[in-house]
A and B are shown apart, each in its own frame.
Chain A
Amino acid sequence: MNNLIEIRWHGRGGQGTKTASLLLAEVAFSTGKYVQGFPEYGPERMGAPLTAYNRISDTPITIHSNIYEPDYVIVVDDTLLDSIDVTEGLKKDGAIIINTTKNKEEITKKIPNYNNIYTIDAKTISIETLGKYFPNTPMLAAVVKVSGIMEEEEFLKNMRQSFNHKFAKKPEVIDGNMKALELALQKIHKL
């Protein structure tokens, strides 16, 4: 299983981190991949740190354990950088993607021992395009871009189909969501 990609998400309850991991599984599924998307369940509290996982592969996946050495780590809430070792087990040739407005200096102070750090301001993108703070949509685009699990065009095409289906009863939000994805693909950058 050399093509297996393992992803770990860190977020807080109520931010849609679990939904984001399931969305990523769906997007990868729609391109013909084998997928797993599962959160680590606990007592569910708004604001409490939570972890979710994805496995994505070209061949069937049989492993049913949590992920300890992820290829990619996604941090949906940058306040977690102070309380959790988000790079634990993260592969050296992998990457970490952080939703933050902090600059390079501030981030490297918090994560001094890891090089491949990407940041994105999902909040500004979300409020600009959706009028509300939904970090999921931009973070999803950021993961796809950094991990290269699929072509950008294919991703956008699949997501539009998925939104058409998901928001069949409120089509006015589809364009905003698509815009959020496109903007995130442009704005994600390596520190």
Chain B
Amino acid sequence: MSIRERLSGNEATALGMKQINPDVVAAFPITPSTEIPQYFSTFVSNGSVDTEFVAVESEHSAMSACIGAEAAGARAMTATSSNGLALMWEMVNIASSLRLPIVMALVNRAISGPLNIHCDHSDAMGVRDAGWIMLFSENNQEAYDNLIMAHRIAEHKEVLLPLMVCQDGFITSHSIENIELIEDDKVKAFVGKYEPKDYLLNKKNPLSIGPLDLQAYLFEHKAAEADAMRNAKKVILEVADDFEKLTGRKYSFFEEYKLEDAEVAIICMNSTAGTAKATVDELRDKGVKVGLLKLRVFRPFPAEEIANAIAHLKAVAILDRADSLNAVGGVLFQDITSALYVNNKNVKAVNYIYGIGGRDTKMDDLEKVYNDLLEIKDSENKVENPYRYLGLRKED
């Protein structure tokens, strides 16, 4: 029997970390993820975890401490947001290149500037090619479930890559909602013990990590890292299968919501997908065939699977909660249109940059996107102005 609770996304994440009981947590507070180390440090003080909590002086140090701990043979976790992740950036890349399966809770917030504390995905997009597995979460339940699955994926011997679990700052991190928790002992058994093959504190097999890696080697090491990211796809599905056996909750690369018989659909990540589900339901009640693809696994990017899942659509809108400022649309849009092209699928695609700096995304906004799609679907021409904004004030 699972435990029926009501928790905020941050509470759920901290509680998940408590159940995982990692060896080391090193973190520095930053809104809106601050509550995670705050709650967790209470667990440390109360003795309900065995974790060594390192209160560091910056996020760069937080990631450095996690790297040291993980390399030594410990299971290390951290949490951050926005500029905290930006300050970590150097070490974020080192963590993945050293193949250390650190797990991070990233509570998405706009990268400065100008200064903003609210949700968008510009922090996550800044590390999209840093060699981390990136899972996105619609609500507190998914943030918790993704965290429980995280170590099994990251620590798998064919993967050995760090992993971050993303959720929307304030929108889910600070919203109290219903949640089904898993019992402590079941989480413990599911996550298992961390048994690294090579680690610094293993005196039987001395090890040097992070050596100078020049022209003769870096290319090969990066290719091996890329292989690990490809391997992660299989492992993510295997772990999801086991998780479903434990909880009954099904996870894959993405969730298809009323997509099968849809003519047009939205693709997006995190909390907006929930609002989109409600919008789909409303439009379906009026007989309009709309659907949703909610991406959960952003890295590794399931390109072929997405292309196949949306191949039957007449038009698709791809929503990016971060502007790439490159004159050709957001990251998700580029990844998905590339996936369509490479897999020889031709679906009309349009990009919307939305929700920047916490701009609220309402059902009305999403309904407008579906209405735009219905127009695009019936047009003979190529998509006019494929790089659009949703919810931006502009002159008519």
Known: A41-B170, A64-B272, A66-B360. A22 touches B117 (CB 8 A): no
Closest residue of chain A to B141 (Cβ to Cβ) is A60
A36 touches B360 (CB 8 A): no
- Name the contact of A38 in the complex, choosing from B175, B178, B277, B362 (C-beta under 8 A): B175
Q: Is the CB of B118 within 8 A of A25?
A: no
The reply on A16 being an interface residue by CB < 8 A is no
Cβ–Cβ contact A34 & B175, under 8 A: no
Interface pair B175/A36, CB less than 8 Å apart? yes
A35 at the binding interface (Cβ < 8 Å)? yes
Structural contact, B362 and A65, CB atoms closer than 8 A: yes
Q: Which of A65-100 contact B (CB under 8 A)?
A: 65-66, 68
Q: In the complex, are the beta carbons of A65 and B277 less than 8 A apart?
A: no
**Does B6 interact with chain A (Cβ within 8 Å)?**
yes
CA separation between A135 and B105, bound complex, in Å? 36
CB < 8 Å neighbour of A62 from B118, B174, B274, B361:
B274
Of A22, A60, A63, A68, chain B has the most CB atoms within 10 Å of the CB of A63
A63-B274, A64-B168, A68-B362 known; A41 vs B117 contact (CB < 8 Å): yes
Query: Judging by beta carbons under 8 Å apart, are A64 and B171 in contact?
Result: yes
- A1 near B176: Cβ-Cβ < 8 Å: no
Of the residues A35, A41, A64, A66, contact of B172 by C-beta under 8 Å: A64
Structural contact, A64 and B176, CB atoms closer than 8 A: no
Q: Is B392 in contact with chain A by the CB < 8 A criterion?
A: no
User: Chain B residues with Cβ under 8 A from A1's Cβ?
Assistant: 278, 281
Residue A13 CB within 8 A of the other chain: no
Query: Contacts A26-B6, A64-B271, A64-B272 hold; do A34 and B363 have CB atoms under 8 A apart?
Result: no
Flag whether A29 is at the interface (Cβ < 8 A).
yes
Interface residues in B, total, Cβ within 8 A: 26
User: Which listed residue, A26, A36, A63, touches B278 by the CB 8 Å rule?
Assistant: A63
Cross-chain contact A36 with B274 (CB below 8 angstroms): no
A34 and B361 within 8 A (CB): no
A26 to B170, CA, bound (A): 19
Partner of A65, one of B32, B117, B138, B275: B275
Which single residue of chain A is at the shortest CB-CB distance from B178? A34
Q: Are B178 and A62 in contact (CB under 8 A)?
A: no
A63 to B271, CA, bound (A): 8
Q: Is the CB of B178 within 8 A of A37?
A: no
Knowing A35-B176, A36-B177, A38-B175 are in contact, say whether A64-B139 is a contact too (CB < 8 A). Answer: yes
The interface residues of chain B lying within 8 Å CB-to-CB of A62 are 138-139, 274-275, 277-278
Would B274 and A64 count as touching, CB distance under 8 A?
A: yes
Are A36's CB and B176's CB within 8 A?
A: yes
A25, A41, A63, A65 pick with most chain B CB within 10 angstroms: A65
Q: Complex Cα distance A66/B363, Å?
A: 10
Interface set, chain A 21-44, CB cutoff 8 A to B: 22, 25-26, 29, 34-39, 41
B366: nearest chain-A partner, CB-CB: A65
Residue A48 is within 8 A (CB to CB) of chain B in the complex: no
B176 touches A25 (CB 8 A): yes
Are B171 and A35 in contact, with the CB atoms below 8 A?
no
Find the B residue at minimum CB distance from A53: B175
Q: Shortest beta-carbon distance, A166 to chain B, in Å?
A: 15
Known: A41-B118, A65-B361. A60 touches B275 (CB 8 A): no
Whether A35 and B6, one on each chain, are in contact in the complex, defined by CB atoms closer than 8 angstroms, is yes
Within 8 A of A (CB), among B95-131: 117-118
A61 beta carbon closer than 8 Å to chain B: yes
CB-based contact B175/A64 at 8 Å = yes
Inter-chain contacts of B272 with A (CB < 8 A): 64
B32 to chain A: which residues have CB within 8 Å? 41
Chain A residues within 8 Å of B118, by CB: 41
Residues of B within 8 A of A34 (CB): 177-178
| Known pairs A41-B117, A41-B118, A65-B361; A60 contacts B278 (CB<8 A) | no
Please indicate which of the listed interface residues A38, A60, A66 has the most CB atoms of chain B within 10 Å of its own CB: A38
Tell me whether B174 and A39 are in contact (CB under 8 A).
Answer: yes
A62-B277, A63-B278, A64-B171 given as contacts; is B178 within 8 A of A29 (CB)?
A: yes
Q: What's the least CB distance linking B129 to chain A, in Å?
A: 28
CB-CB under 8 A from B139, the residues of chain A are 62, 64
Measured between beta carbons, the chain A residues less than 8 angstroms from B177 are: 34-36, 61
- Which residue of B6, B138, B172 is within 8 Å of A25 (Cβ)? B6
Please report the C-alpha to C-alpha distance between residue A29 and residue B363 in the assembled complex, in whole angstroms.
Answer: 25
Complex: A36 Cα to B140 Cα, angstroms: 11
B174 contacts across to A, CB distance below 8 A = 38-39, 41
**Nearest A-chain residue to B169, judged by Cβ:** A41
- Chain A residue numbers with a CB within 8 Å of B271 are 64
Distance in Å: Cβ of A161 to nearest Cβ of chain B: 15
Q: Report the Cα distance A65→B281, complex, angstroms.
A: 16
Chain B residues near A25 (CB-CB < 8 A): 6, 176
Q: Which residues of A contact B6 (CB under 8 A)?
A: 25-26, 29, 35
**Closest approach, in angstroms, between the C-beta of A71 and any C-beta of chain B?**
16
**Can you pick out 20 interface pairs between chain A and chain B where the beta carbons lie within 8 Å of each other?**
A1-B278, A26-B176, A35-B176, A35-B177, A37-B175, A38-B174, A39-B174, A41-B118, A61-B177, A62-B138, A62-B139, A62-B275, A63-B278, A64-B175, A64-B275, A65-B360, A65-B362, A66-B360, A66-B362, A68-B362
